[in-house]
Structure 1
Amino acid sequence: HLETLEAKGYEVIFLTDTIDQWMCDVLTEYQEKPLVSALTADLDVGDSESETPDADQLGALREAFKRVLDEQVEDVRVSKRLTDSPACLVIPKGGLPTHIERLLQANKQLNQTSKRILELNPDHALVKKLDALATENAESEELTKWIELTFDQALIAEGSPISDPSTFAKR
């Protein structure tokens, strides 16, 4: 999530305490600087029009991801925040951060987690190869395995548990 922020010279504060999320909901700026979560889908990093992803970019691959991960993700988008990673999960508008969901689940105050938005890096070598595979045969078993692996890696990167660690280890 921080790749573009770092490249553009933004300062990032890591808020690791459970209470931090609630404080940021109340304290929206500090020294006239806005406090914005890097985890949200609508993060504005001051991109120019030329950096805005094309709506049709990775079309076949995004559809394949949506088909395979239908139960796990709300949407699949082309990322404008990633530079090094193939994919990341972001919070949809109005969604709760992952650590807050886990806290609420541990206290039996939340039954299920919300679906995240998966963002794909169109410049990453893996995503380019997967796009070629999806264009060739979007229903292939090989593509499905790579999609599941990419999703599991995005889960691990955000600090979430994966659904089937033994299958992940065999991939």
Structure 2
Amino acid sequence: MYLKQGIAANPADAETINSLLRFKTNLNPEAWSSLEEYVSRMKDGQKEIFYIVGEDPKSVLRSPHLDYFHSQGTEVLLLTDPMDSFMLMGLRKYKDFDLKNVAQAEVDTTQKPKDEAEAEKIPDADFNSLIERFKQVLGERVTDVRASTRLYQSVARLADADSSTNADMQRVYKYLGKEYEIPKKVLELNPSHNILKSLLKQEAGSELQNIIIEQIYDSALLVEGLHPDPSSIAARVQQIMEAALTKSSN
């Protein structure tokens, strides 16, 4: 933590400190790895050091931003200490490799796992109507709702509307409590996910459909570590459980 703090406080000293840093990764979440060791394991043609910022080591591994990287076996640094967000203000590069947040990384989505490539998608007309329903329910909380090309296991993810947005600074503002507001992002949906297929079967505009849409958005915020009041989700989860139990008993 003190090494990270040193980089945050004195970015000019990053080059003399970064070799001492140790991180856990998605491919080996139990072991510590240096940046040099990470670089030695990079895939041919990989030009960036990928990282993901999250709340804790277990939940970050379930982040939808990792769907693509898991599928390709690409290693990603797990940054789950509050100091990591501050450290990143001074650590932007290691040797010739830029550090890149997976949430903003450009990826080649044409290289999909065989089973994912063959997953049946919701027909475009139906999916477009579902997108419109999400927009109506979420309103100005999101800048847009669209289909994702990089989600395989997850139902949704939040992406920055502007590629120049500093996602790491959003977390810094949250930790500092300085005029923090939930950042408005693009909600990307997985057109092959079973939850969305089932959601289409619900009556349009029904209470159950609306609260599930709300839950999908809040869950995405929660995984991002950007939800200002996670406990507020509990009441809606109870509603969904009651609806599911009522349906199963009929």
1:64-109 CA-partner distances (Å, limit 9, x unpaired) = 111101132222121222211111223332154452231132xxx2
8 Å contact 1:152–1:168 — kept in the other structure? Answer: no
Which residue is 2:130 aligned to? 61
SS of structure 1 residue aligned to 2:152? coil
Which residue is 1:13 aligned to? 77
2:175 pairs with 1:113 = no
SS of structure 1 residue aligned to 2:140? coil
Distance 1:138 1:34 in 2: 46
Distance 2:80 2:208 in 1: 38
- Between Structure 1 and Structure 2, the one with more helix by share is 2
1:21-62 CA-partner distances (Å, limit 9, x unpaired) = 35445543334333211223xx311223998x9xx5721111
1:116-140 CA-partner distances (Å, limit 9, x unpaired) = 221111111011222454xxx5433
2:72 pairs with 1:39 = no
Paired residues in the alignment total 160
Which of 1 and 2 has higher RCO (CA within 8 Å, sep 6+)? Answer: 1
Distance 1:163 1:19 in 2: 24
Which residue is 1:103 aligned to? 175
Structure 2 counterpart of 1:47, one-letter code? T
8 Å contact 1:2–1:81 — kept in the other structure? Answer: no
Tell me the percent identity.
33
Relative to structure 1, the CA distance from residue 44 to residue 112 in structure 2 (aligned partners, 3 Å threshold; closer, same or farther) is same
Give TM-score scaled by structure 2 length: 0.54
Distance 2:143 2:166 in 1: 11
Relative to structure 1, the CA distance from residue 29 to residue 132 in structure 2 (aligned partners, 3 Å threshold; closer, same or farther) is farther
8 Å contact 1:88–1:154 — kept in the other structure? Answer: yes
8 Å contact 1:73–1:117 — kept in the other structure? Answer: yes
Which residue is 1:76 aligned to? 145
8 Å contact 1:60–1:138 — kept in the other structure? Answer: no
Distance 1:62 1:146 in 2: 13
8 Å contact 1:78–1:122 — kept in the other structure? Answer: yes
8 Å contact 1:61–1:131 — kept in the other structure? Answer: yes
Relative to structure 1, the CA distance from residue 142 to residue 16 in structure 2 (aligned partners, 3 Å threshold; closer, same or farther) is closer
Give TM-score scaled by structure 1 length: 0.75
Relative to structure 1, the CA distance from residue 64 to residue 168 in structure 2 (aligned partners, 3 Å threshold; closer, same or farther) is same
Gaps of 5+ in 1: none
Distance 2:210 2:96 in 1: 47
2:168 pairs with 1:168 = no
Structure 1 counterpart of 2:208, one-letter code? E
* Cα RMSD after superposing both structures: 2.9
